[in-house]
């Protein structure tokens, strides 16, 4: 029984085809078809407004040198939003509940921001490891602490996204299992748990969007430190 709770973190298959591949095709259907007009319908207007809003929010803390990363950060934001939200659909799979995928996204981008700082302003980037005015006896300890905090950043990015989504999905499954179990025994309590499940689902949608935003926002802040 306990093992079945974690079956949702394995990709379901139909005729040997992972259903996550089919579900990830749905956002592509929303993309506007090539046309000689920029905006062809209200859906295109909504999409352009959403992309503009995401790009504006991500580029606000960055200076002009960081605007070169606009395409990468916006694309990452859209990818995380799509995968997080598609994972809430029945018979689908959330790839971002896997720490391996999140680390594969976090580590290269964090390393790119770090190497950018070491190439453009090495003295300032290395100066972050030792705060100004540090007493001499504390210098070795502070350098080790700051280095550890710097190296743990990609792990924190990946674990934060994985833990939040995994906990939410497990909680939804636990409450839904309780709702089905209580339905023939105590219908009144089952109705109450159904309302709780509905509210929790709405909360999970918000968490899916917020965690995608936080992931990319922290990357943009790391980038700002190095440019």
**What would the two tokens of residue 217 be?**
């926002």
Mean pLDDT score, 162-181: 88
**What is the C-alpha separation between 67 and 85, in angstroms, rounded?**
27
Q: Is the torsion defined by CA of 68, 153, 151, 82 positive or negative?
A: negative
| Residue 54: partners with Cβ closer than 8 Å, 6 or more residues away | 74, 77, 78
Q: For position 154, what pLDDT does the model report?
A: 92
As a whole number of angstroms, the longest Cα–Cα distance in the chain is: 71
CA distance 55 to 38: 18
Cβ-count burial of 226 within 10 angstroms (0-12 exposed, 13-18 middle, 19+ buried)?
Answer: buried
Could you give the CA distance from residue 57 to residue 60 in angstroms, rounded to a whole number? 6
Q: Decide: pTM greater than 0.75.
A: yes
Q: pLDDT band for position 1 (50/70/90)?
A: very low
Strands of the chain, DSSP E: 13-14, 17-18
Q: Is the pLDDT of residue 137 over 90?
A: no
Is a pLDDT exceeding 60 seen at residue 113?
A: yes
Question: Could you count the other beta carbons within 10 Å of the beta carbon of residue 98?
Answer: 18
């Amino acid at each position: 029984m306990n093992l079945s709770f974690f079956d949702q973190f394995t990709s379901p298959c139909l005729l040997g085809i992972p259903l996550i591949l089919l579900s990830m095709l749905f956002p592509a259907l929303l993309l506007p078809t090539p046309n000689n007009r920029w905006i062809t319908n209200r859906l295109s207007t909504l999409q352009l407004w959403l992309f503009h809003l995401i790009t504006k929010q991500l580029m606000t803390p960055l200076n002009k040198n960081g605007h070169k990363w606009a395409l990468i950060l916006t694309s990452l934001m859209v990818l995380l939003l799509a995968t997080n939200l598609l994972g809430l659909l029945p018979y689908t799979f959330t790839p971002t509940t896997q720490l391996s995928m999140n680390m594969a996204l976090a580590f290269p981008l964090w390393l790119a921001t770090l190497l950018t700082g070491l190439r453009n302003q090495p003295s300032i980037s290395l100066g972050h490891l030792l705060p100004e005015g540090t007493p001499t006896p504390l210098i070795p300890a502070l350098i080790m602490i700051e280095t550890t905090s710097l190296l743990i950043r990609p792990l924190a990015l990946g674990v934060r996204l994985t833990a939040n989504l995994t906990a939410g999905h497990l909680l939804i499954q636990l409450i839904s299992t309780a709702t089905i179990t209580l339905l023939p025994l105590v219908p009144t309590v089952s109705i109450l748990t159904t309302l709780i499940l509905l509210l929790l689902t709405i909360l999970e949608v918000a968490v899916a969007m917020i965690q995608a935003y936080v992931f990319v926002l922290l990357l943009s802040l790391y980038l700002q430190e190095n440019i």
